[in-house]
């Protein structure tokens, strides 16, 4: 796209002055990038024009399109932000500043031990850095730039739209870069930028970013699905035309005029459904989808009634996002019916305005009247909710923690729960009462000691569900416990709550945190039976100057025990750290035999040929007894291959995984069901018990004490640590630790 094409594509509401502003921005960008080329060899200005074109297609304002043209000028040339402010005004300058990449790291993002290669004087000199240091520096710069952009978005949401347009064009031209860079950028795009596009409701951008990312991350899967779509295109188009015509006639007979279109199938969406539902491409593509656009909200519900009266609705497939919009302001009616050919038909019903919002998100909420920007109430409420979720200014976190907060707290699915007064609180899926308490107020979180859910007292690791009514029980004084940050216990889900807990813990004296951290680590090592751990090496591997700094970080919550245990587990084989009390065993995964396309099907070994692991095998579907597994050369199978070929299925042996028997000792106040709870917990963790010994000391003066000795089979030290943590969290359990030899 050249400048003439860009000017021709600008929205019709642009004034002559707006068009002149865009033209001047192009001239300055062309001058700044005059001698620069992209990886493809084309002039760099082409990228700037393409970004501006994407913004124009979203009907963005003249200052936003101008910022799109100038978005790399400050970063890549001698032109300053002040010069842009003087020539184009403060609005355009602020937008350009918001998307300009950082070249040097702010001090808040640097660890003291990295000063040797992050000093201000030589921050741009990368020649002396190792590959590991260079990779780390680029990642930190990327995260700091994202944080800078999101902070700027708090003032003007158009900053993030420009950033998305920039990323979209970069993804479209990613084929000219190195393969490792392609994968890194594609991973970042699908984890961060596509969810941002979804969060602000720009559906058309989200889908393209996801599809392009999949192309570089899973090229074979992408090509397989794309080829399947091409093969079916002609038949599917013919089929959808008949359905569209039938729907239009049915609605017109009832006096409703609707624009009916087939809903496009996006490659990444198909890939996700195949993976999550464990279905084949053919099974996913059997589901057809149509979209009906009608005049107003009343017509939406009238259309729904006609569809349901004409074809049988499929149970549990109706969603009303008009009455209860999604968090990104998406509105539509979703339903599914059994069509005349006895195959499912998914139907979306919305107004034309709702469709614009679904495709363009918050970009559709900008209105321009006589040169004055007007924003509607729904848009303002959405921005307010998004700012509250980010709560950027009040959080004491580095850039990496900020990005994790974005992934976990902003992009994840959400649940909606009620306060005692009936107010709705929006939380990430998997949140607990403590997350709820910190969302209400920091002090409520600090003093939280219990919770009533729907009038019933529940533990603090209870996972909140949509519709729950939550009452937090507080104490008059006190603060959070370090145990709240233990991921194995599952008391806190959101990074926002974790950050507030860490801030409180950091306010404690260094000596107190040092002592607490040392005791925590010594206790964990003692519990896991780890005696010979070099703390000096361990602290350096975790990027601390010495063990004392590591203890302080552990004591204030900046460092978790699980990270230390995982590091030890990753660096050593289980044989190095787990002294077993019995021979190691090879155990199959949950399914000894995997039946392709029929996961979970009951299987049994045929007695006629007695197949053993490693033999070529095939499955035979029986009547009422699942699949019988035979050797491929079994005479019965050879006969069936000619007479009952349709009952044969392809199967393979499950993967074998090595486990290590480890003795553990549990001390608890005896109660009914204690051993059952322990057994269920281990079963849920996929841990086998090979030996059990229970002894209860009866004492009339004290509560009965149960001493339980188990031998459990674990994969590694990380799983052992997680299991012991979860056992200690059971009611009445005093201690759970690994038994020492002798």
Catalytic residue set = 75-76
Measured between alpha carbons, how far apart are the two ends of the chain, in Å?
A: 78
| Nearest by Cα to 75 from 24, 139, 124 | 124
CA distance 691 to 661: 10
CA distance 266 to 270: 6
Burial of 647 (0-12, 13-18, 19+ CB in 10 A): middle
Phi first, then psi: what are they for 600, rounded to 5°?
Answer: 90, 0
Find all residues with CB under 8 Å of 557, minimum gap 6, and list them: 482, 485, 498, 501, 502, 505, 506
Give the distance, in angstroms, between the CA of residue 190 and the centroid of all CA atoms in the same chain. 9
CA distance 337 to 344: 6
Sign for the pseudo-dihedral over CA of 141, 146, 151, 156:
positive
C-alpha pair distances (Å), 507 with each of 362, 399, 478, 512, 513: 40, 21, 13, 10, 9
CA distance 89 to 25: 12
| Orientation angle between helical segments 158-172 and 131-155, nearest 10 degrees | 140
CA distance 446 to 440: 11
The overall longest dimension of the chain from CA atoms, in Å, is: 94
Strands 627-631 and 470-474 come out as unpaired
Burial of 279 (0-12, 13-18, 19+ CB in 10 A): middle
C-alpha pair distances (Å), 568 with each of 443, 574, 577, 692, 728: 36, 10, 9, 28, 22
Strands 603-605 and 627-631 come out as parallel
| Nearest by Cα to 60 from 421, 493, 466, 365 | 365
CA distance 635 to 637: 5
Burial of 565 (0-12, 13-18, 19+ CB in 10 A): buried
Burial of 189 (0-12, 13-18, 19+ CB in 10 A): buried
C-alpha pair distances (Å), 185 with each of 171, 175, 188, 189: 8, 11, 5, 6
Q: CA-based angle 389:395:396, to the nearest 5?
A: 155
Burial of 484 (0-12, 13-18, 19+ CB in 10 A): buried
């Amino acid at each position: 796209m050249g400048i003439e094409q860009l000017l021709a594509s600008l929205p019709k509401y642009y004034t002559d002055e707006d068009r002149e502003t865009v033209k001047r921005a192009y001239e300055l960008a062309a001058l700044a990038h005059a001698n620069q080329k992209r990886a493809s060899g084309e002039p760099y200005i082409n990228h700037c024009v393409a970004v501006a074109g994407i913004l124009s297609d979203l009907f963005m304002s003249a200052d936003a399109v101008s910022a799109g043209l100038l978005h790399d000028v400050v970063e890549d040339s001698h032109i300053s932000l002040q010069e842009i402010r003087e020539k184009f005004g403060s609005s355009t300058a602020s937008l350009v500043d918001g998307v300009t990449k950082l070249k040097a790291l702010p001090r808040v993002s640097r660890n003291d031990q990295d000063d040797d290669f992050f000093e201000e004087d030589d921050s741009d000199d990368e020649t002396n850095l190792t590959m590991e240091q260079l990779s780390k520096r680029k990642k930190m710069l990327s995260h700091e730039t994202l944080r800078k952009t999101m902070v700027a978005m708090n003032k003007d949401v158009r900053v993030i739209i420009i950033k998305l347009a920039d990323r979209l064009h970069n993804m479209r031209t990613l084929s000219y870069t190195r393969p490792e860079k392609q994968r890194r950028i594609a991973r970042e795009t699908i984890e961060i930028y596509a969810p941002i596009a979804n969060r602000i409701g720009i559906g058309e951008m989200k889908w393209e970013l996801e599809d392009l990312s999949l192309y570089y991350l899973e090229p074979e899967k992408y090509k397989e699905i794309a080829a399947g779509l091409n093969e079916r295109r002609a038949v599917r188009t013919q089929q959808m035309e008949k359905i569209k015509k039938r729907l239009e006639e049915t609605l017109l007979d009832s006096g409703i005029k609707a624009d009916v279109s087939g809903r496009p199938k996006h490659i990444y969406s198909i890939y996700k459904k195949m993976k999550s539902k464990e279905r084949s491409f053919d099974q996913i593509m059997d589901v057809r989808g149509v979209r009906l656009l009608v005049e107003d909200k009343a017509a939406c519900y009238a259309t729904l009634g006609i569809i349901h009266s004409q074809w049988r609705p499929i149970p549990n497939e109706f969603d009303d996002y008009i009455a209860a919009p999604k968090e990104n302001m998406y509105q539509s009616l979703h339903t599914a019916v059994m069509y005349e050919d006895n195959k499912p038909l998914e139907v979306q019903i919305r107004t034309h305005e709702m469709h614009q919002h679904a495709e363009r998100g918050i970009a559709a909420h900008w209105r321009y009247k006589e040169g004055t920007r007007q924003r509607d109430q729904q848009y303002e409420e959405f921005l307010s909710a998004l700012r509250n979720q980010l709560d950027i200014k009040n959080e004491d976190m580095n850039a990496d923690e900020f990005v994790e907060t974005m992934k976990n707290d902003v992009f994840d699915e959400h649940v909606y729960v009620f306060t005692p007064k009936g107010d709705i609180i929006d939380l990430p899926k998997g949140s607990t009462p403590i997350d709820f308490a910190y969302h209400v107020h920091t002090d409520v979180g600090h003093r939280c000691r219990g919770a009533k859910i729907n009038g019933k007292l529940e533990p603090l690791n209870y996972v909140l569900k949509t519709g729950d009514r939550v009452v937090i029980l507080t104490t008059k004084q006190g603060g959070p416990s370090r145990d709240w940050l233990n991921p194995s216990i599952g008391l806190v889900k959101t990074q926002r709550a974790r950050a507030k807990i860490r801030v409180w813990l950091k306010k404690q004296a260094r000596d107190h945190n040092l002592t607490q951290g040392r005791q925590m680590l010594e206790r964990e090592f003692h519990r896991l039976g780890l005696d010979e751990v070099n703390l000096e090496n361990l602290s350096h591997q975790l990027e601390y100057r010495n063990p004392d700094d590591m203890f302080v970080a552990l004591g204030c919550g900046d460092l978790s025990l699980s990270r230390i245990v995982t590091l030890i587990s990753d660096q050593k084989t289980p044989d190095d750290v787990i002294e077993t009390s019995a021979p190691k065993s090879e155990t199959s995964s949950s399914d000894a035999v995997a039946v392709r396309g029929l996961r979970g099907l009951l299987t049994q070994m045929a007695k006629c040929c007695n197949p053993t692991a490693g033999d070529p095998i095939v499955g035979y579907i029986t009547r009422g007894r699942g699949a019988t597994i035979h050797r491929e050369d079994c005479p019965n199978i050879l006969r069936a291959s000619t007479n009952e070929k349709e009952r044969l299925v392809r199967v393979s042996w499950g993967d074998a995984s090595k486990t290590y028997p480890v003795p553990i000792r549990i001390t608890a106040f005896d109660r009914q069901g204690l051993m059952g709870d322990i057994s269920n917990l281990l079963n849920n963790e996929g841990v086998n018990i090979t030996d059990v010994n229970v002894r209860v000391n009866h004492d009339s003066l004290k509560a009965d004490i149960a001493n339980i000795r188990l031998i459990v089979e674990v994969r590694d030290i990380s799983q052992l640590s997680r299991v012991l943590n979860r056992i200690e969290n059971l009611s009445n359990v005093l201690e759970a630790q690994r038994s020492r030899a002798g």
